[in-house]
Amino acid sequence: MTITIRRTSPKDAAAIARILSDPSVQPGLLQMPYVDETIMQSRLTELCAPGKVDLPLTAELDGDVVGSAGLHPVGMAQRRRHALMLGISVIGTAQGRGVGTALMAAMCDYADRWYGALRLELTVYTDNAAAIALYRKFGFEIEGTMKGYSLRDGRYIDAHAMARRRPAPAADGIA
């Protein structure tokens, strides 16, 4: 079993739309069901454009695309440039096989060593125990619970705001 993490390209649109539409994945997302491949290709083209800060990643398991993740600026406010929003999805058949861990490791490494992010943020449904455990493994903590956060399957569901804070990078060699 070989897990490969690579930068996403617009050519991944069909595979990512399939992951996000998977019945075992979709209930854990804020996206609406039936993700359109054409819209996904347009989104990926924008995310992958030169000069973008976003980091879209794709996970392959033995050559098949099985996961998608991304780091995105929280907003345009200059005073929030130290923070990134994180999102991750792994198709049901690959869950529990280390794909999520590999994606999280790659995103945290990039955020810490290359972007210099001091804060990673995410939102997760309170009943998604596997995802919460994965995020905790990477140092994320629950900062609050949002009641009735979003509509899922006809009911309003609570969600946790989770974040991982890092100390400021060392100023080695700078006087």
Examine residue 128 and state whether it is found in any structural domain, yes or no.
yes
Enter the DSSP assignment of 62: T
Residues of the chain with pLDDT under 50: 175
Examine residue 175 and state whether it is found in any structural domain, yes or no.
no
Residue 171: what pLDDT? Answer: 61
Token pair for residue 17? Answer: 């739309």
Q: Which residues pair with 122 in a beta bridge?
A: 162
Examine residue 112 and state whether it is found in any structural domain, yes or no.
yes
Examine residue 125 and state whether it is found in any structural domain, yes or no.
yes
Report how many domains make up the chain.
1
CATH of residue 18's domain is 3.40.630.30
Residue 32: what pLDDT? Answer: 86
Whole-number Å distance between alpha carbons of 122 and 131: 11
Examine residue 170 and state whether it is found in any structural domain, yes or no.
no
Examine residue 49 and state whether it is found in any structural domain, yes or no.
yes
Residue 172: what pLDDT? Answer: 61
Which residue segment(s) compose the domain that 113 sits in? 3-165
Examine residue 173 and state whether it is found in any structural domain, yes or no.
no
Residue 163: what pLDDT? Answer: 97
Q: 90-104, pLDDT tens digit by residue? A: 999 999 999 999 999
Examine residue 171 and state whether it is found in any structural domain, yes or no.
no
